[in-house]
Amino acid sequence: MALPNSDLEINRSGVQSPVAAVQQFIAAYPIHKNYYVRIFVQAILTIWAVLTVTFFLVRQMPGNPIDVLIEQILTQEGISYQEAYDRVAASFNFDPDATMLDQYVDYVGDLLRLDLGTSITSPGTRIIDEIARFLPWTIFAVGSGFLISFVLGIILGMMMAYYRDSALDHTLSLVSSFFTGVPNYIWGLLIIIGPGISWNWFDVGAARGTYDPGLTPGLNAAFIGSAIEHALLPIITYVLATLGSWMLSMKSSTTGVLNDDYVNVAEARGLKDRRIITAYVGRNAMLPLFAQLSISIGFVLGSGVVIEEIFVYWGFGHYLFQAITVRDYTSVQGAVLILSSTFVFSNLFADLTYGLLDPRVRISGEK
């Protein structure tokens, strides 16, 4: 490729300066004008901004890791403040007197080396190991709940729209409105108190945890069965808490599509209902929900905090909650990195794939 006619900076010795070389490269390959590159860089900058704000915000929270543990020990053990301080200060890998700027520079330096650091409150424990311990369970439970809820919501929402003003529509609308209005932690508590304690349908203690102790994690039936069993209550809770909004959204979207001309034409052409529902109505009605789903995925990891505490199903939500509670700054930063990355990249994914699902967007983009 021939170089464009740009102002080349050649110094007197005839060697091109680095700045000029970069300018020349950009001029030759204007990647900054590339849509995909631009939104990827934007995503990285967004994550960096979130991490920076988080870094300083968590340090503005009341107390620090040492104070928090001192208070815990004082409450639990009834020893003097001096004893508690001596014990805690010596066992922490944390200097409360270090300047925030120094800490920030260290943090960014470690991050650039892909090192999330070690926990403050459990010195020597790598953040990446902790995240690897907790993250998969949240993805499994919340992800499963989300998927089930989405699929059920789509189906029921379409049925409501198709049979609008019928008894089925009225009943499902009422149910979905009720489901939408009850927050997930209430569902969690109701499940524990009703079927768990009052009716003894299940053993509250045995349902806790992510799998039965003594099993070896891996692709074996015992472990998989146990993991599904332990995740069931959180999954049911997530489904109950989110199903209503998917149903209502799908009903609204489908109702709009049903009034479109091309549906009337399809009916006039005598196409079978099943084909109209799947190829004409369902696909188009789902498009707005797809964007909503992509954005919601970003919330998946952060949405389990309370549920994981209620069911003692320790995943990423518990990890973040615990880290904030004990002011484990490095753990909070690691968790926020995962959260913000998930959120930003799920949006990015939605942007990139929406065109594939909706030809109108693709064509419009090409024009």
Enumerate residues 60-89 that contact other proteins by CB under 8 A: 61-64, 66-71, 75-83, 85-89
- 126-129 contact pairs (CB < 8 A, 24+): 127/330, 127/331, 127/333, 127/334, 128/334
Alpha helices in the chain (DSSP H): 18-28, 35-60, 65-77, 81-91, 100-112, 127-162, 167-181, 184-191, 221-258, 261-268, 273-275, 283-300, 305-310, 316-325, 329-357, 359-366
Cβ at position 201, least distance to other proteins in Å: 5
Q: Which is nearer to other proteins, 298 or 317 (CB)?
A: 317
Task: Pick one of 24, 27, 48, 92: the residue that binds other proteins (CB under 8 A).
Answer: 92
Cβ at position 305, least distance to other proteins in Å: 14
Q: Which of 139, 43, 140, 31 is nearest to 352 (CA)?
A: 43
Phi then psi for 264, rounded to 5 degrees?
-60, -40
Q: Which is nearer to other proteins, 227 or 257 (CB)?
A: 227
Cβ at position 28, least distance to other proteins in Å: 49
The residue range among 145-153, 260-268, 292-300, 356-364 that interacts with other proteins, by the rule CB under 8 A, is 145-153
> What is the 8-class DSSP label of residue 199?
S
The verdict on 192 binding other proteins (CB under 8 A) reads: yes
Q: Is 341 helix (H, G, I), strand (E, B) or coil?
A: helix
Q: What is the dihedral of CA 56, 60, 66, 72, to 10 degrees?
A: -130
The verdict on 324 binding other proteins (CB under 8 A) reads: no
The residue range among 24-32, 165-173, 228-236, 290-298 that interacts with other proteins, by the rule CB under 8 A, is 228-236
Chain residues 146-165 in contact with other proteins, contact rule CB under 8 A: 148, 151-152, 155
Q: Which is nearer to other proteins, 43 or 70 (CB)?
A: 70
Query: CA–CA separation, 62 vs 49, rounded Å?
Result: 22
Cβ at position 133, least distance to other proteins in Å: 6
Chain residues 96-135 in contact with other proteins, contact rule CB under 8 A: 96-97, 119, 121-126, 129-130, 133
CA angle 174, 179, 181 (to 5 degrees): 95
Task: Pick one of 187, 246, 313, 329: the residue that binds other proteins (CB under 8 A).
Answer: 313
The verdict on 196 binding other proteins (CB under 8 A) reads: yes
